Structure 1
Amino acid sequence: MKKTNLTISVLLLLYFFSLTGCGSNTRVDGKPEWKAEHVVFIGLDGWGSYSVEKADMPNVKQLMKEGCYTLQKRTVLPSSSAVNWASMFMGAGPELHGYTTWGSQTPDLPSRELNRNGMFPNIFNMLKETAPEAEIGAIYEWDGIKYLVDTLSLNYYRHVPNDNKLNTALTGAAVKYIKEKKPTLAAFIYDSPDDTGHGDGHDTPGYYAKLKELDDQIGEIIHAMKEAGMYDNSIIIVTSDHGGIEKGHGGISMMEMETPFIIAGKGIQQGGGFQESMMQFDVAPTIAGIFHLDQPQVWVGRSMKQVFY
């Protein structure tokens, strides 16, 4: 009799643990534990995949070695800025989110769906709705980014003008933000590869010198994450909106349309290059997968599930 009672007690205790999430990979709210507590998204505007092999970017290449990457992520069309940053953040193409030109500040076409902030559903709003306590921020050099990141869902956002020198202003602001706030999701977006591409030209010595400078800035951000004690529980993404050819972009050449996507950190396979097809609108679903966010029906992107353990 005592043995039977003990068995029942153990079963009841296990059942209680299953409901509360104790001893399992679930949060207090019953949802799965995030794959990482922090995601740091680093964007390099105008960084084409064609340049990666030749570029002197040791910090970026260390992330490639430690994680997964593709150099064949394709832009949506046109291969220019606002339409592609919007697609990355909004999980869909211009036909649905409505931002169709390099400088769109509002949808040129009516967005197929709007969230409570009056924007197309996006990764920033989805995380804030699911985890109101999450610290979410964006710091950027191109002022056009502020129209695409759903600022009503951000705790912090800041435009740091690009002096097209060493980009230390953005990096300094990013380092300060990391150390003070330890953000759940932060987007740091540099504009100078694009400026250099328009000025010196793509695939030129000046362009590669700028990539080297930016790699140094990325190294400072990584160092700040380590000093803040968040690096080991973080995922880092480094990517781009488009590449370029000669001194322009917006066309259909592969130099303009193929962009890098690099992901490394907690729970990421040390798998090197992956061969699966990836588009700009697959970025938001991949980030959503880290936080176990339910993907809106209006999104067309897919999570790159193969990069996770």
Structure 2
Amino acid sequence: MQKINPIIGVLLLLFIFSLAGCGSGTGEDNTPAWKAQHVVFIGLDGWGSYSVEKADMPNVKQLMKEGSYTLQKRTVLPSSSAVNWASMFMGAGPELHGYTTWGSQTPDLPSRELNRNGMFPNIFNLLKEAAPEAEIGAIYEWDGIKYLIDTLSLNYYRNVPNDNKLNTELTRFAVKYVKEKKPTLAAFIYDSPDDVGHADGHDTPGYYAKLKELDDQIGEIINAMKETGMYDNSIIIVTSDHGGIDKGHGGITMMEMETPFIIAGKGIQQGGEFQESMMQFDVAPTIADIFHLGPPQVWVGRSMKQVFY
């Protein structure tokens, strides 16, 4: 039997060890080779696309400039809150996930499929199943959100009622959470555009004043991300569940049905406005794409792949 040259043997062993390391799909920091290590999702309830051009929102418009966006993302019907937040998080419409009304707390129709937590498959559970150590959280003003976010898959969640009408409490908790935990996926959802839309009306001075205040709050979250050093390895999404007309919503006018979707950060095209059609249920598959998560068969949404390099 021919002997192997010792030098060749050492080289073969080094080659085998290198293959073992590469096969894990992880980087030098032992984190998954995702498109970005952090996703911060900021939702503005009741923010219609019609308002973007006129709104004084420099932080949001900087994200639009630095990333990709559409102002033609459409709601599912009805154009109201629970059914649309559910569709965003669950990758499907009400016919499948079963949440059909403004205030649905449980499925009004039997969900077509359930995960191990007894909920329709959603982006929070999908990430937690794939990466159990991922820090996942949600902070929200409208209490109805807690029925839609699969709290059993979250490390942290908190309802912060908008008592002072300035949204500073949610921002305070969001900034604290970012600085302390550097979350893998965080959802921060403000309710006040919808409140002002119902009280003062959509497309009114009061409505635009609220959007300006919220832009300041978004700026604080971005600054916190920069202070922690996570900003350069993050993707930020800013979007909405529905718009409105006069003092209401739920109908089929474009002011009610068209909502912004803005995405910026690591690996995102500085492509400006994209023209491909987008629905609410395309949001979850787009986030799943960032984390290389295969969408469940029951999801009907598609990733907006054109926004990625």
> Which category of TM-score, normalised to the shorter sequence, fits these structures?
over 0.9
RMSD: 2.2
Q: 1:235 to 1:31 in 2, by over 3 A?
A: closer
Distance in 2, matches of 1:175 and 1:245, equals 32
- Deviation of 1:32 after TM superposition, in Å, equals 6.1
Is the contact between residue 137 and residue 183 of structure 1 (CA under 8 Å) also seen in structure 2? yes
Give the letter for the 2:92 counterpart: A
Distance in 2, matches of 1:70 and 1:25, equals 32
Give 5+ residue unaligned stretches, structure 2.
Answer: none
Superposed CA offset, 1:88-147 (max 9, x none) = 000000000000000000000000000000000000001111111011100000000000
Distance in 1, matches of 2:199 and 2:160, equals 20
Structure 1 residue 20 corresponds to structure 2 residue 21? yes
In the TM superposition, structure 1's runs of 4+ consecutive aligned residues that sit over 6 Å from their partners are 4-9
Superposed CA offset, 1:64-96 (max 9, x none) = 000000000000000000000000000000000
- Deviation of 1:26 after TM superposition, in Å, equals 3.9
Distance in 1, matches of 2:32 and 2:186, equals 21
Paired residue secondary structure (2:260): strand
Distance in 1, matches of 2:212 and 2:173, equals 20
- Deviation of 1:18 after TM superposition, in Å, equals 3.3
**What's the TM-score, normalizing by structure 2?**
0.94
Give 5+ residue unaligned stretches, structure 1.
Answer: none
Give the letter for the 1:18 counterpart: L
Distance in 1, matches of 2:285 and 2:244, equals 26
Q: 1:14 to 1:54 in 2, by over 3 A?
A: farther
- Deviation of 1:165 after TM superposition, in Å, equals 2.2
Distance in 1, matches of 2:76 and 2:85, equals 10
Counterpart in 2 of 1:215? 215
Distance in 1, matches of 2:141 and 2:79, equals 19
Counterpart in 2 of 1:35? 35
Distance in 2, matches of 1:157 and 1:32, equals 24
Is the contact between residue 45 and residue 240 of structure 1 (CA under 8 Å) also seen in structure 2? yes
Q: 1:281 to 1:45 in 2, by over 3 A?
A: same
Distance in 1, matches of 2:31 and 2:228, equals 27
Give the letter for the 1:228 counterpart: T
Give identity over the alignment, percent: 86
**What's the TM-score, normalizing by structure 1?**
0.94
Give the letter for the 1:120 counterpart: F
Figure out how many residues of one structure are paired with residues of the other and give that number: 307
Is the contact between residue 164 and residue 192 of structure 1 (CA under 8 Å) also seen in structure 2? no
Paired residue secondary structure (2:288): helix
Counterpart in 2 of 1:52? 52
Paired residue secondary structure (1:110): coil
